[in-house]
Structure 1
Amino acid sequence: MFARSPARPLLFGQRHATPGPLHSPGGRLSTRAPGRGAVAGRGRCPCARAGAGFRGPAWKESRGSRVLVCMATLGLIGSGHIGSTLARLAVDAGLDVVLSNSRGPETLSELVAELGPRARAGTAEEAAAAGDWVVVTIPLKAYQQVPVEPLAGKTVIDTNNYYPDRDGKFPALDSGETTSSELLQRHLKRSQVVKAFNNIYFKHLAALPRPAGAADRTALPIAGDDATAKVNAAELINTLGFDTVDAGPLAEGWRFEPGTPVYGTPYTEKSTSHFVDVPAGPAAADRIAEDLAAAKH
């Protein structure tokens, strides 16, 4: 029932080989590119992707090779457990990050200092404007506070889940009429929303990145209505160290929300509903696809 991923190559157990941030002249990826997000082999430079917001390539010496670096930035609207973990992974993979939260940039000074020179703090509007990808990782009840204009035309990755005790009641979600990511998409009419990172515990997210092609590489599900945006999101996820499984449109995002087989449990050493208490363990794309298919309302 699941569509093939629009990214290269395909899903359901196949290894994702979209490019990381390092490549050599002519749009070919460097076989000597370092770092968790770098992918050895051939591929298309993200800078050349139609509609990309990258600031352009720059030369950099790395392990004796002269490589081109896509000057890509991850913007974060929200810098809690998931947001700060993604920021660490992004910096490790060679991306710049702009963090924001609801309390102001000055409250993020310790995290920025920990992350180093690739990180800076700003307002939500500044993070939205700076990001080539922008992750929205705030409580659902605050989704209408996400800035609209600076996100126009961008891929926006939504990590949200609906927790009524935290967010209050949303009748349209309780009835199954719509999903939380569809609410964000309606708010961001000129952006392309992709749901991702919402089904994995932040400590497991931090522990499981692997190089492309690794036998124990973990897969994360995504959902979205725009095929190009899903390619863009899969490129980021690959750069951070994960494969992707396409669950379909945003309307199918419920398949990896709380209470489903894909929520939390696959990413542990042993299957348990108390996944926060268990060390991380890899989950291959085949496993995630099977659990998506088994999900029930």
Structure 2
Amino acid sequence: MLRIALPNKGRLSEDTRELFNDAGLEVRSSGERTLTASLGGEFEAIFVRAQDIPEFVADGAADVGVTGWDLVNESGRPLTSHLDLGFGRCRLVVAAREDSGIRAVADIGKDGQRMRVATVFPNITRRFFEQAGRPVDVVPVSGAAEIAPHLGIADVVVDLTSTGSTLRVNGLREIETVLRSSAHLITAEGGPRHGAADRRQELDDLVTALASVIRARGQRYLMANVPRAALHQVREVLPGLNGPTVIEIAESSQYVAVHAVVSAATIYRTISQLRALGGEGILVTRIERLVP
């Protein structure tokens, strides 16, 4: 049975549990503070801090893990991503005070003076500025890096942001994006270490199950009866994955039934276009899984 390391708290933990539940791998534990649990009776979960998951997976304590790509990069361990889970999206950015005069990475230390950079991600930050050829001293902090320039601890910060609002509130300007991050399903390089053949098949099954749920999100299944004479125009309205499925309707020569997967974001317009073509009996349902 694959052992999967999952985040033990926070929004990342909540989104991970929701995804696994939707994939039929419900977390079954004896209590809220339990350290291990069954995932639908198929896998074993261990709950640890998100920042520790890269180490657990790289060292073989867990076969698979779910954590942020920023934490994977910070760890520097040899890990492989098998699936972008699509949540926990954020950016790691360079930011400086609005009144600092710094408008680009090239402005940092341009006079030869070494600047101090505060960050929770010292390894990523050090690599970034080395590659950029900028002279900096990295100041590791445990949190709230955005306050560092105001306290004189650092001239610049490298910090996570989703919308940039926290940086702006603290009088900081984004200079450059260092890394884009989201939650990923990871293993050690080469896949699970123990029981190679069986574990790899279990991993493939897990990736397929999770990917089918992710693929289905934002999609809807639409069914409608449309005039046979308008079928060519209907195909333009319902491209679907490979075009709509067309089904004959018993005892009807004028209408056919069409089924298609459509984007939830455009469903309102799609229904309107079908009605304009004479469509009727339109039914839209959610999709739990979508395997191409």
Q: TM-score range by the shorter chain?
A: under 0.3
Structure with more strand by fraction: 2
For the pair shown, the structure with the greater C-alpha radius of gyration is: 2
**What's the TM-score, normalizing by structure 2?**
0.27
TM-score, reference length from structure 1:
0.27
